[in-house]
Amino acid sequence: AKAYGDLIREIWSGKSSFCTPKSLNQNVARYAPQFSGFSQLDSLEFMSFLLDSLHEDLNLVKKKPYVEKKDDDGKLTDSAL
């Protein structure tokens, strides 16, 4: 997730007219060797892996807060009492 964030930051910074996703490619290849090197692969497979990995990384919750359930009218449910 950090390598992806760095790439997005570099793209939107406007400091350069080009950017290379070398760091992102190296990080992806570390966990999925089929994406190492420069061979042409199915872009759908790559994006699927990348998005799934981002989802997993970003959903690592250190402490999940407790949330009380409420009815549609805003009152506490019977089970919460």
- The phi, psi pair for 70, rounded to 5°, reads -125, 155
Are 11 and 19 in contact by the 8 Å Cβ rule? The answer is yes
Please state whether the predicted TM-score (pTM) of the whole model is above 0.75: no
pLDDT digits (tens, 9 = 90+) for 10-56: 888 888 888 888 888 888 888 888 887 766 667 788 888 889 988 98
Give the pLDDT band of residue 2 (cuts 50, 70, 90): confident
Q: Which one-letter amino acid corresponds to residue 59?
A: N
Which pLDDT belongs to residue 41?
67
Return the SS3 of 16: coil
Return the SS3 of 73: coil
Q: Where do the domains of the chain lie?
A: 2-58
Which pLDDT belongs to residue 52?
92
